[in-house]
């Protein structure tokens, strides 16, 4: 029987019709949903830090347990400038790094659940397209934010996921709730595709060689690609064969890229005029002094907009090299 990241046995998610969903059997089950051959969503205790949504893209030729990126939940209370960080805060439920997340069949019920007892998600027909919806609860933040996230997959778009944040009545008022793709360094994303051209990490931070995050670069809604009431921004690697990169001695093995290169994109319908796309950069890999092959690359990649209840953003990952 497969094991979770803590070495305990559980039943792997299974294909049910057109979807990958948690198994029906009793006992511990893998919290994983999505397209069997397309994008998938997972939660801790799947491998990786707690407090993050996991995104898997097996169609890029990656092993089943190799995730492409994380999505962090980062709410900003009204009148504040600092975010809460779902990955970095220490849980007040069990005093472990990373806020607890669990799937739920009733977002109105904030009682914590064992993530190894996942809901299967809801399958529905929306305007003639079958969808799979999964609600993910997040324990309250130290800054007073109390939110949950709804993830939606569409049957006709196997390489994307829609994510939306919802504020509970118990929550502080919110300026924004950023859903940030946090691990651009693994794919070494360096080129941002905008309506008026490209922005390159090396040009945005030409002299940055510290071990922390370079400051955010921001691009207003007028700089984003627009089409029929929708805007998008894409980030791409600048290598055609990133899996062949030579890493500095001592670089942790998990930073070696696996699979085909891909274009990662955020999309928003009917954007607020204040919406901005943001990226920051790192010269070294997270929690290390190991330099990233080829120089500084984007790490956090996100859209930031004044908070709207249930406002959905779509994240897609498309291969840059055709899948055989």
* Per-residue model confidence (pLDDT) at position 156: 98
Q: Is the entire prediction scored with pTM above 0.85?
A: yes
Sign of CA dihedral 48, 52, 57, 60: negative
CA angle 151, 313, 65 (to 5 degrees): 50
CA angle 72, 239, 69 (to 5 degrees): 15
Helix (H) and strand (E) counts for the chain? Answer: 2, 21
How far from 98 is each of 66, 167, 197, CA to CA, in Å?
20, 20, 37
Please list the pLDDT of the chain residue by residue as tens digits (324 residues): 677 877 889 999 999 999 999 999 888 999 999 999 999 999 999 999 999 999 999 999 999 999 999 999 999 999 999 999 999 999 999 999 999 999 999 999 999 999 999 999 999 999 999 999 999 999 999 999 999 999 999 999 999 999 999 999 999 999 999 999 999 999 999 999 999 999 999 999 999 999 999 999 999 999 999 999 999 999 999 999 999 999 999 999 999 999 999 999 999 999 999 999 999 999 999 999 999 999 999 999 999 999 999 999 999 999 997 655
How far from 247 is each of 100, 187, 237, 256, CA to CA, in Å?
33, 13, 16, 8
Nearest to 41 by CA among 8, 68, 77, 4: 68
């Amino acid at each position: 029987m497969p094991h979770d990241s803590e070495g305990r046995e559980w039943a792997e998610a299974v294909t049910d019709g057109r979807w990958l969903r948690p198994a029906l059997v009793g006992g511990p089950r893998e919290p994983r949903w999505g397209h069997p051959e397309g994008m998938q969503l997972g939660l801790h205790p799947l491998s990786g830090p707690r407090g993050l949504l996991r995104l898997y893209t097996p169609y890029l030729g990656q092993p089943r347990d190799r995730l492409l990126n994380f999505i962090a939940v980062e709410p900003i209370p009204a009148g504040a400038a600092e975010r809460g960080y779902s990955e970095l805060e220490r849980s007040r439920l069990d005093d472990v790094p990373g806020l607890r997340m669990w799937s739920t069949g009733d977002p109105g019920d904030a009682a914590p659940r064992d993530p190894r007892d996942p809901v299967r998600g809801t399958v529905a027909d929306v305007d003639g397209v079958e969808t799979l919806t999964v609600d993910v609860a997040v324990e309250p933040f130290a800054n007073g934010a109390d939110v949950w996230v709804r993830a939606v997959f569409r049957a006709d778009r196997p390489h994307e996921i829609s994510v939306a944040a919802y504020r509970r009545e118990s929550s502080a008022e919110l300026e924004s709730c950023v859903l940030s793709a946090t691990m651009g360094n693994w794919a070494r994303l360096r080129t941002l595709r905008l309506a008026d051209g490209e922005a390159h990490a090396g040009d945005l931070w030409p002299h940055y060689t510290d071990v922390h995050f370079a400051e955010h670069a921001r691009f207003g809604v007028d700089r984003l690609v627009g089409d029929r009431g929708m805007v998008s921004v894409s980030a791409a690697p600048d290598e055609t064969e990133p899996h062949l990169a030579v890493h500095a001695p001592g670089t942790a093995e998990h930073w070696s890229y696996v699979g085909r290169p891909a274009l990662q994109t955020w999309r928003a319908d009917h954007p607020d005029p204040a919406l901005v796309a943001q990226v920051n950069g790192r010269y070294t890999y997270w929690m290390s002094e190991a330099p990233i092959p080829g120089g500084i690359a984007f790490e956090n990649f996100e859209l930031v907009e004044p908070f709207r209840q249930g406002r959905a953003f779509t994240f897609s990952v498309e291969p840059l090299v055709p899948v055989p």
